[in-house]
Amino acid sequence: MRIGVPAETAAGETRVAATPETVKKLVAQGRTVCVQSGAGVAASAVDDAYAAAGAEIVDAAGAFGADLVLKVQPPSAEELTLMKSGATLVGMLNPFDAEGLQRLAQAGLTAFALEAAPRTTRAQSMDVLSSQANVAGYKAVMLAANQYQRLFPMLMTAAGTIKAARVVVLGVGVAGLQAIATAKRLGAVIEASDVRPSVKEQVESLGARFIDVPYETDEEREAAEGVGGYARPMPQSWLDRQKVEVAKRVAQADVVISTALIPGRPAPVLITEDMVKSMKPGSVIVDLAAGRGPGGTDGNCPLTEAGSVVQKHGVHIVGLTNLPALVAADSSSLYARNVLDFLKLVLPSDATAVQVPMEDDIVAACLMTQAGKVVRS
């Protein structure tokens, strides 16, 4: 049983799906792990470290030609030609990309998309959305602090007093909570908005203020409960009232970090052009929904340009799309542990081949393609 760890080739991708730490554990189970030369370099894991962990250092064909291939991003068309029909692929494979999944099915792969794991307690240790969103939330604040030409904390100095930065966080899932915690550690004053009522307590426990938009109808209350922990599109009546409250805060904000997403749908527009115009010169928006907005290249703000940092109406808008890749070493180490935990379900230590126990809800949720067919999209 050979496990392959190729180098990622997607633009801007610096992460790797296995680290020397996780390779060592797989090797201890008697697996042969084939790591492509240089696969971990951008994530601070050099070939020698993998070799010391017991890996074979191979070329791309050697890594992609394994029985089980561990990836971060979906393989490119060219990489798919290096994979064996009947092999297993584990990675972040975009469960909502029907065409991409079709290509994996046609290549004869048993493919598991880890983003599709349920948000349950048992799945927490293999929850790649959480592990990577956590890093993204932290890095969003770092990027904002870097763009912002003032300080975050209040400072009383002999040369005068500096006011604390006002930070608004829109969307308080995993990334938003980490953004709040990080901005708080830097001394900012923070307000946050989300559609889900359960978030209020979490926001307040981190020392931030929740932007309350009370629900006025049963339809609003029901939509706000979401499904499976995720948000659902809210009725327009609630969104209109949220917009009024958010607009007031955005106009006073120095930094806005937006992370609002609805699975399988375009990200909601929360920061309109008028709101951007109302912001002070030199303020910063970091739009973590960049590339997922209604226009495809926008995000929670229509002025966001995915992949770029732009200045609009005097406001810096950061639209970088892969923030975890900017923290490659820690993102990879968390991701690799997520992958290792998932493997326990499909490759128990006594198994000689990958198994697909469909009675396991996590395995069933993550399975995307099998025997030439897309089984779930």
List of residues contacting ligand NAD (CB under 6 A) = 119-121, 123-124, 127, 129-130, 133, 170-176, 193-196, 229-231, 234, 259-263, 268, 270
CA distances to 116, 178, 229, 339 from 376, in Å: 10, 31, 20, 20
Cα–Cα dist 120/45, whole Å: 31
Shortest spacing between CB 109 and ligand NAD, in angstroms? 26
Does the active-site annotation cover 124? yes
Find the catalytic residue in 47, 59, 119, 360: 119
**What residue ranges in 81-188 does DSSP mark as E strands?**
88-91, 110-113, 155-157, 160-162, 166-170
Does the active-site annotation cover 241? no
Shortest spacing between CB 230 and ligand NAD, in angstroms? 5
Cα–Cα dist 114/362, whole Å: 9
Does the active-site annotation cover 370? no
In the complex with ligand NAD, which residue's Cβ is closer, 35 or 183?
183
End-to-end CA distance of the chain: 28
Does the active-site annotation cover 29? no
In the complex with ligand NAD, which residue's Cβ is closer, 111 or 195?
195
Shortest spacing between CB 261 and ligand NAD, in angstroms? 4
Cα–Cα dist 67/88, whole Å: 6
CB 132 within 8 A of CB 73: no
Find the catalytic residue in 76, 124, 149, 252: 124
Find the catalytic residue in 48, 221, 230, 311: 230
Which DSSP symbol is given to 296?
Answer: S
Q: What residue number has its CB nearest to ligand NAD?
A: 173
In the complex with ligand NAD, which residue's Cβ is closer, 36 or 132?
132
Shortest spacing between CB 106 and ligand NAD, in angstroms? 30
CA distances to 22, 85, 120, 203 from 176, in Å: 28, 40, 19, 9
In the complex with ligand NAD, which residue's Cβ is closer, 22 or 242?
242
In the complex with ligand NAD, which residue's Cβ is closer, 104 or 128?
128
Bridge partners (DSSP) listed for residue 328: none
Shortest spacing between CB 180 and ligand NAD, in angstroms? 12
Which DSSP symbol is given to 111?
Answer: E
Does the active-site annotation cover 149? no
Residues with catalytic roles: 119, 124, 127, 130, 230
